[in-house]
Structure 1
């Protein structure tokens, strides 16, 4: 049910996804949906958790192996840019798309999205902190600020990719932040 709802909400938006549409797409009865979810807001929060897990489980292995600027560039290419290119920029980020649609009128969803972005930023921060620990980046490097900048570059770049159907802005934003991170690199001995 959650997978079907996630697909529909990604393609149609939350407002454009009805519970009967989820029921039909999942091949379940309405009573089954309401057995597991109190209402559409509850289902939407489950979709946010599902999308967050999908993103983090895909990116975490690469972020956990960050040991150099080259590894960071590999994450940028494999996880972000190549995925956006495969879709010709269409669709954007599932979490970003939900964020732009769900206003403060949906505080539970807003809180769930904020928590998801925090987890994503923390995964990036942990990767950058590992680069500090292994001596790739200077000890005074602020991994927290740089992780937020990278995540903001991803989100902003994906919004522009979605509108322009090109990854040019996404690549430029990520490259600018990675260049800034490179400025914190320890020079080779």
Structure 2
């Protein structure tokens, strides 16, 4: 295994373990907002410059290294799956309506998070990340079973 692939593995394990722990207990939309708040808080501690380790590696390596791209794609797929499972759990618990599509909503939530990280890092402000996540969560909230 190359040094780059080893670094991707270490970063992937770290990010996925953290996200799995944060998402495992989410049983309400408020819980999902607390997940968002924890991400934004971590970003705030670094004045927005706290980017995603996996996103940074992806930006640097994916275009030129197929092995790195495949390893990163696998990590992002695992992260997306964690979000899908969380949203499916919310739907199964009756928090979200049956019309909610966890796959689509999970993909959008991860895209908002990653795009938010990039914009926050560039702006040196957590605000773009918070806004992107809020928009994604507002979309999810539209499927709340009230």
Q: TM-score range by the shorter chain?
A: over 0.9
Structure 2 counterpart of 1:101: 60
Distance in 1 (alpha carbons) for counterparts of 2:100 and 2:42: 29
Query: Are 2:92 and 1:133 equivalent residues in the alignment?
Result: yes
- Alignment size in residue pairs: 146
Q: CA deviation at 1:63?
A: 1.0
What is the alpha-carbon root mean square deviation over aligned residues?
1.0
Instruction: Select between 82-91 and 146-155 the one with higher mean Cα deviation.
Output: 82-91
Structure with larger Rg: 1
After TM superposition, list the pairs within 5 Å mapping 1:82-93 onto structure 2: 82-93=41-52
Any unmatched runs of 5+ in structure 2?
Answer: none
After TM superposition, list the pairs within 5 Å mapping 1:1-189 onto structure 2: 37=1, 42-78=2-38, 80-187=39-146
1:87-120, CA deviations, whole angstroms, 9 ceiling, x for partnerless residues?
1111411010011111432000000010000000
8 Å CA contact retained: 1:64, 1:126: no
Give the secondary structure class of the aligned counterpart of 1:53.
helix
Q: TM-score, normalised by structure 1?
A: 0.75
Kindly indicate whether structure 1 or structure 2 has the higher relative contact order, using CA contacts under 8 Å at least 6 residues apart: 2
Any unmatched runs of 5+ in structure 1?
Answer: 1-36
8 Å CA contact retained: 2:8, 2:54: yes
